[in-house]
């Protein structure tokens, strides 16, 4: 069985993905991997856990249920957030020109391996 570090390493080698961070719901980084980018994985974990609260409230208030996954495009990149049960969050940071479907595919592909490694 692959370690969590090995799985996140493989995920960050997918085209367009440069950082993958697995954090607890309260923002503590369980494991993080970057393929040379300047992002601090500890900072990613803290910011992501803070930012998801509004998205969860929006889903409840609009009657569409709980959040499973979110993808947000910014001026210089894409962030995809996925939940692993009630305890962990996977945040993937990708290049702005990355294929959105490709990012989503890679995250879904590696999610079972991440869950196993936990």
- Check which CATH number belongs to the domain holding 41 and give it: 3.30.450.30
Per-residue pLDDT of 67-106, as tens digits, reads 888 899 999 999 999 998 888 999 999 999 999 999 999 9
What pairs with residue 80 in β-bridges?
71, 92
Total domain count for the chain?
1
Categorize the per-residue pLDDT at 50 as very low, low, confident or very high, splitting at 50, 70 and 90: confident
Taking each helix axis from N to C end, the angle separating 4-12 and 100-117, rounded to the nearest 10 degrees, works out to: 170
Q: Which domain holds residue 23?
A: 4-117
Inform me whether the pLDDT recorded for 44 exceeds 90: no
The full DSSP string for 72-101 is EEETTEEEEEEEETTTEEEEEEE-TTS-HH
- Global pTM reads 0.88
């Amino acid at each position: 069985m692959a370690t969590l570090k090995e799985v996140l390493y493989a995920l960050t080698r997918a085209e367009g993905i440069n950082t993958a961070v697995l954090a607890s719901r309260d923002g503590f980084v369980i494991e993080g991997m970057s393929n040379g980018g300047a992002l601090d994985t500890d900072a990613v974990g803290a910011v992501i856990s803070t930012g998801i609260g509004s998205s969860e409230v929006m889903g409840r208030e609009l009657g569409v249920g709980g959040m499973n996954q979110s993808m947000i495009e910014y001026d210089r990149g894409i962030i995809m957030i996925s939940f692993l049960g009630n305890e962990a969050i996977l945040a993937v940071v990708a290049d702005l020109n990355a294929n959105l479907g490709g990012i989503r595919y890679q995250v879904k592909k590696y999610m079972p391996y991440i869950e196993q490694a936990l």
